[in-house]
A and B are shown apart, each in its own frame.
Chain A
Amino acid sequence: MTAPAPVRPVLGRLRERVTTLAGMVVTPLVPADYVDLIDPLRSTNGLRGRVVEVRPETRDAVTLVIRPGRGWNTHVPGQYVRIGVDVDGVRQWRTYSLTSKVPHPDRCIAITVKAIPGGTVSEHLVRRARPGLVVQLDQATGDFVLPATRPAKVLFVTAGSGITPVMGMLRNAVHELEDVVVVHTSPVPAEVVFGGELRALAADGRIRLVERHSRLEGRLDVDALTAVVPDLAERETWACGPTGLLDDLEARWAGLGIADRLHVERFRPATLVTGDGGTATFSRSGVVVESDGATPLLESGEAAGVLMPSGCRMGICFGCVVPLRSGAVRDLRDGAVTTANEGDGVLVQTCVSAAAGACDIEL
């Protein structure tokens, strides 16, 4: 045993005592509540980040460079992060793909946001985000990433803002990839997010870029993709974009018998099946609402002021999972009905579950 070894436990115990004392000083609050007053990024009340730069990408898209606060781990390129922003006084959480380099020289991360017409959060971030804005953060997550052993041949099929996770991968790993084809669809050339950067990579011979412009040439015909990328069956493929495109790709890849070589990232829930709705009871909050068969329980609960845990809002992150005490809910994606009797506490995802009759949620 070396001499300095016992120092750590002693320091640890001291730290523990100081924390306990600080807790006694500020009860019923916690010390972090006071740290919040001075520097929200250092607080342990939750992970936050501060926007340090807002870079316009296109007319409708910006890149936000964010310095994460205390507690941020790191991310793998291709992953996404949940961001909480107050819009009109209401905290809204959304997920965005990370597009920054790892490690970033300034310990910052970046997301790129495209304004969706009528989109509460995207419009707010694109039009109103300024350096200094503090946002809520969560750790990066997601398995839409390149394997540690880089595949020899890669194909990326993207559309619209689906380019963002792929850009995160390209920026970090393009020098480790031998043969990359990017098939990217956007409405018109001027609206290609990262258009300049992609074209520069292509000009350098780092990637082969196939640009499609849906407003001029129509939607990408997946069956005709072989004509553009003849060796696609040999390629490990990552795809991100609208549901229709991803469904087509999955069907095509399955047809070719290479479904295992396709990795998709969905930004929207798949097909919606509406049910009958019913009375939703949030028993711990004492809130009872009528929830129709098309509205996720997450939204009904939030609208009634229940503090609903939430995440991706598309059924993938399981951040919204809560026990269904009793009753029935229908999965909006496939129409499957889940039922529970008193005491079962079946866990359901509120963001993709609607009331299918009376239901009692433990919240």
Chain B
Amino acid sequence: MTALQKKAHNPIGHLSAEDVEQLGRELDAIREQIIASRGERDAAYIRKVIDVQRKLELSSRAILLFSLFPPAWLIGTAGLSISKILENMEIGHNVMHGQWDWMRDPKIHSTQWEWDNASPSDMWKHSHNQIHHTFTNVLGRDNDLGYGIMRVDEDQRWSAFYLGQPLWNFLNACFFEYGIAAYDLEIGKYLKGRKDKPTFKRQAKQVLAKIKRQATRDYVVHPLLSGPSFLHTVAANATANLVRNLWTHSVIMCGHFPDGVETFEKTSIEGETRGEWYLRQMLGAANITGSPAMHMMTGNLSFQIEHHLYPDLPSNRYKEISPKIQEMFERYGLTYVTGPLPKQLASAWKTVIRLSLPNDFMAKAQDAVVSTIVPGKQATSAPERVAA
């Protein structure tokens, strides 16, 4: 990725200001249609998903009480993994986006929801809903571009730290829920002295308390209840958490890092209109193709583009409006980035690996062989200080 404003061929160069505003009006109209038709069917949908997830979790955990027996371990662990993924993705993420607030059910409301994840919902909502969804793919504003530990865009300055980013990314995938918690806590910002200490301390306490509750449940209480199956249940919970971490990390990588997704310069959003905001969301996200089960397991983030256009509309509607959105991409001459999970994931990983080295490192390395070695200017610079 390279900031759209620096590209030789501007992918939105053919659109006039009026075109962009027209596009905004069309997207607003689709939004109005969904809101007008929201109702009983949607409410029944989310209640059903919650019901299924809770029953799945309950039965999986019950089976794991006998995890000493290999079939029980396998079935219980598989069930718990799926249940945790559903809870985080289709339920937690979407409820905390306020997608179901219109139901006025205090039990399914963004202000009340707490999820099965290390990061407390309040902190996650701030960094995700407020920062990431507002400043999507704006370099220096959207910290989701590499989560502060990776360089996923040519326009993020290279430093030697990034040499390790394939490893950082893999570790982050394995411990993703803790990665998210550390990220929402803005540890990096705190270490640089740009986050006030009392706030950080208060939030850190909150995170640790939540981690303690979560870990006690998974690694102490349920194993103890399993009696002789103690260690097997510990392993089952650890596996389910790992599976959930790897899966959610992979899905999320596919949302913004594959080839074809655009990024934007910091100054490009000054005075941004509604139409321009929509356009940035259209170009700043990528979808995943797949079966209905696949969409469910990604929390419908396989419709990342639709989600970024309408983050607060019910997730079950993304699939429904997707053809309309694709038709608009075509009509406005834009690229709807999508593909099967393996392809998108490989593309995202390739970016992570390629950008662990300085831009055009390979080309420069070849040049260096034929000419004299001159230390690259970028190689010695410090990592970019990201403004809040």
Contact = CB atoms under 8 A, between A and B. Distances in A.
A18 B13 CA distance: 65
A217 interface: no
Contacts of B54: 29, 33-34, 37
Nearest to A25: B221
Task: Among B41, B42, B101, B210, find the residue whose CB has the most chain A CB atoms closer than 10 A.
Answer: B101
A26 B41 CA distance: 29
Interface in A294-346: 302, 305-307
A9 interface: no
B116 interface: yes
A196 B259 CA distance: 76
Given A37-B51, A302-B104, A307-B101, A27 B214 contact: yes
A91 B104 contact: yes
B385 interface: no
A33 B106 CA distance: 12
B225 interface: yes
A29 B312 CA distance: 23
Contacts of B39: 88-90
B217 A24 contact: yes
B278 to A, nearest CB: 20
A33 B91 CA distance: 15
Nearest to A303: B102
Contact of B217 (A25, A90, A306): A25
Contacts of A26: 217
Interface of B is mostly: helix
A89 B221 contact: no
Interface string A273-292: 00000000000111000000
Contacts of A248: none
Nearest to A284: B111
B168 interface: no
Contacts, number: 70
A28 interface: yes
Nearest to B221: A24
A23 B214 CA distance: 11
Given A21-B221, A37-B51, A89-B39, A28 B213 contact: yes
A89 B112 contact: no
B101 A305 contact: yes
A28 B114 contact: yes
A28 B210 CA distance: 9
Contacts of A302: 104
Closest 6 CB pairs of A and B: A89-B43, A305-B101, A28-B114, A91-B104, A88-B39, A89-B39
Given A37-B54, A86-B40, A307-B106, 15 more contacts: A21-B221, A24-B213, A25-B217, A36-B107, A86-B43, A86-B103, A89-B39, A89-B41, A89-B102, A89-B103, A90-B103, A305-B101, A305-B102, A307-B109, A307-B111
22 contacts: A24-B213, A24-B221, A25-B221, A28-B114, A28-B115, A28-B210, A34-B58, A37-B51, A37-B54, A37-B55, A37-B58, A45-B107, A86-B105, A88-B39, A89-B38, A89-B43, A90-B103, A286-B130, A302-B104, A305-B98, A307-B101, A307-B112
Interface of B: 38-44, 51, 54-55, 58, 98, 101-107, 109, 111-112, 114-116, 130, 210, 213-214, 216-217, 221-222, 225, 312
Interface of A: 21, 24-29, 33-34, 36-37, 45, 86, 88-92, 284-286, 302, 305-307
